[in-house]
Amino acid sequence: MNELLNVEHLSISFHTYNGEVQAVRDASFQLGRGEVLAVVGESGSGKSVMMQTILKLTPCELKGGRIEFDGKDITDYTDRQMQEIRGSQIGIIFQDAMTSLNPTMKIGRQITESLLRHQKLTRAEAKKKALELLRQVGINNPEKRFHQYIHNLSGGMRQRVMIAIALACKPKMLIADEPTTALDVTIQAQIMDLLAQLRKEVGCSIVLITHDLGVVAANADRIAVMYAGRVVESGASDQIFYHSSHPYTRGLLESIPRLDAPHDTQLTYIGGTPPDALNPALGCAFSARCKYAMRLCRTQAPDAREIQPGHFCSCFLLDDAAKTVREKTGWEVSL
């Protein structure tokens, strides 16, 4: 794979009054050029903290691991070096445009400021480019919107403005952190379609951070599933959707409501709650919620293994030694 981003064995912590929180533990994943990678997991699984720490947008501490972006080792880059890369090569779209954009600055100025900071343009050229960007992200009447404030727009339009600002630096990588969570379902679909279209037009790679596997079904090339700070399964979209091999991934997939299900079908969910991040469980982090948990799972964390080319999973159920448990519980290895 021609990788744009390669993250190996990343561990991240932050400190609270109650102690150290190990937000990310030994996480590895890759993002190919022009590819969409979805990082999926429940709230608190570490997905946003991981990406924000990679970009140096949080004061979290990098405890170990290696980050390579566009062929360069950026693990020890200073805040200033990362700021350069963020502005010129990486665009970011956050969940809530109201808190991410400046409510006191007109939309046009927010885009032109970004263009002037990162490209050698005159004010007139920046304005022309800003109008083009607004058009490109599907904002109607861009000349009028240019002079409006963010509160004059609907939720979907605000997300489009944020995407326009992210595109201003012609990014190699776009990070979209829960970009559709605050939107209703039809607008969600429009924003996802827009991201897919821009990926083709601009040719950038996208990291899509979401808690919703349903959102990524039609949009991701690869998926990394996170649980309690670990990437528990990763692989091509088809491998995750049709051959998922981790009980947590299967639980997430079973929780997606189906339109073709009989009307009296009960919605399924994963019982229990995620472990306390301040006192992580000794063994597999999912053991308290996993109906297949064995004695070993409570004392030892499983390592990731490649079960098919490019498909990684961390679960003891895949061991030959777990054959009896698989037979007893009806767990099927789906490769």
For residue 153, the minimal CB distance to ligand SF4 (Å) is: 44
Give the residue from 232, 244, 239, 221 showing the smallest Cα distance to 32: 221
Nearer to ligand SF4, 168 or 297 (CB): 297
* Contact footprint for ligand SF4 (CB under 6 A): 246-247, 284, 286-287, 290, 292-294, 297, 302, 315-317
For residue 83, the minimal CB distance to ligand SF4 (Å) is: 39
For residue 225, the minimal CB distance to ligand SF4 (Å) is: 11
Count of other CB atoms within 10 angstroms of residue 45: 26
- Give the per-residue SS3 of the chain: CCEEEEEEEEEEEEEECCEEEEEEEEEEEEEECCCEEEEECCCCCCHHHHHHHHCCCCCCEEEEEEEEECCEECCCCCHHHHHHHHHHCEEEECCCHHHHCCCCCCHHHHHHHHHHHHCCCCHHHHHHHHHHHHHHCCCCCHHHHHCCCHHHCCHHHHHHHHHHHHHCCCCCEEEEECCCCCCCHHHHHHHHHHHHHHHHHHCCEEEEEECCHHHHCCCCCEEEEEECCEEEEEEEHHHHHHCCCCHHHHHHHHCCCCCCCCCCCCCCCCCCCCCCCCCCCCCCCCCCCCCCCCCHHHCCCCCCEEEECCEEECCHHHCHHHHHHHHHHCCCCCC
What are 305's strand-pairing partners?
313
Nearer to ligand SF4, 69 or 248 (CB): 248
Nearer to ligand SF4, 102 or 308 (CB): 308
Nearer to ligand SF4, 69 or 292 (CB): 292
For residue 302, the minimal CB distance to ligand SF4 (Å) is: 5
Nearer to ligand SF4, 173 or 284 (CB): 284
Nearer to ligand SF4, 94 or 292 (CB): 292
Nearer to ligand SF4, 46 or 302 (CB): 302
For residue 21, the minimal CB distance to ligand SF4 (Å) is: 21
Sign of CA dihedral 80, 84, 89, 92: positive
For residue 14, the minimal CB distance to ligand SF4 (Å) is: 25
For residue 293, the minimal CB distance to ligand SF4 (Å) is: 4
For residue 297, the minimal CB distance to ligand SF4 (Å) is: 3
Nearer to ligand SF4, 198 or 232 (CB): 232
Contacts of 288 (CB under 8 A, 6+ apart): 272, 275, 281
For residue 258, the minimal CB distance to ligand SF4 (Å) is: 24
Nearer to ligand SF4, 128 or 243 (CB): 243
